[in-house]
Amino acid sequence: MIAVLEGLLFITGEDGITINDIVNNLNVDKASAEALVKELDERLNKEESGLMLKVVGGKYLLTTKPEHLDYYKSFLTNEINNSLSPAALETLAIIAYNQPVTRLEVDELRGVASASLVRKLVNFNLIANAGRAETLGKPFLYKTTDHFLNYFNINSLEELPKLSLPKSEEIDVDLYEIKYQESE
């Protein structure tokens, strides 16, 4: 169960999880959930791990250890790693055309988790926090920055290419069926 808890913390990223989330998702009682959190925390506190468990606002987050910050900064600012992958460009385009937008909305549009790409784009100063959404959990909203405009050599968002999307009545595809149909 400890591995499942670690995986849950990984996939929830900056959103984190509460004890109640652990109880509900792992089908354990509160005492068992707290024991799992304590066991994972002890395991991560070993020097061999670069991760740690952090509690913010009653939610548990999996984060990197602060003593390794210089290595992470070096990696993120290394010129070789500063190129934007196609996935990062896709994430950036979604944010640019839909801003302000939450990470979950980006995930839904891409169909995959985007937490690491959003962090990378924030670190590159191409996007920034634009406040919090007025929805359950009050997730962060993201928008593009002035550096984004400079990076792509445009004066305003109005200069972004116009998207030509098919009209909804032209689309006759059941995406749920395609994604979840049983293979024969």
What integer is the mean pLDDT of 146-160? 86
Domain tally for the chain? 2
68: which 2 tokens? 């390794």
Same domain membership, residue 95 and residue 48: no
pLDDT of amino acid 73: 77
33's enclosing H/E stretch is helix 30-44
Q: Are the CB atoms for 34 and 41 separated by under 8 Å?
A: no
Angle CA 52–112–118, to nearest 5: 55
Say yes or no: 15 and 45 in one domain.
yes
Q: Report if residue 169 sits inside a domain.
A: no
Shared domain for 87 and 61, answered yes or no, is no
- Residue 97 maps to a domain: yes
Residue 66 has pLDDT above 60, yes or no: yes
Same domain, 51 and 10: yes
Average of per-residue pLDDT across 146-156: 85
Residue 173 lies in a domain: no
Q: Is 180 within the bounds of a domain?
A: no
- Cα gap 54→50, rounded to integer Å: 13
pLDDT above 80: residue 95: yes
pLDDT at 104: 92
Task: Give the least confident one: 117-131, 132-146, 154-168.
Answer: 154-168
Q: Is the pTM of this model over 0.75?
A: no
CATH number at residue 26: 1.10.10.10
Q: Do 119 and 149 share a domain, yes or no?
A: yes
Under the banding of pLDDT at 50, 70 and 90, the label for residue 184 is: very low
Would you place residue 174 in the very low, low, confident or very high pLDDT band (cuts 50, 70, 90)? low
- Find the mean pLDDT for residues 30-36: 95
* pLDDT band (50, 70, 90) for residue 183: very low
Determine the pLDDT at residue 56.
84
pLDDT surpassing 70 at residue 152: yes
Q: 49-53, 88-92, 121-125, 167-171: which range is least confident on average?
A: 167-171
**pLDDT at residue 16, rounded to an integer:** 87
pLDDT value at 178 more than 80: no
Lookup: tokens for 116: 């690491």
CB 175 within 8 A of CB 128: no
Spatial CB neighbours of 145, under 8 Å, sequence gap ≥ 6: 125, 126, 127, 128
Residue 45 lies in a domain: yes
The end-to-end CA distance of the chain, in Å, is 32
Domain holding 92, by residue range, is 83-162
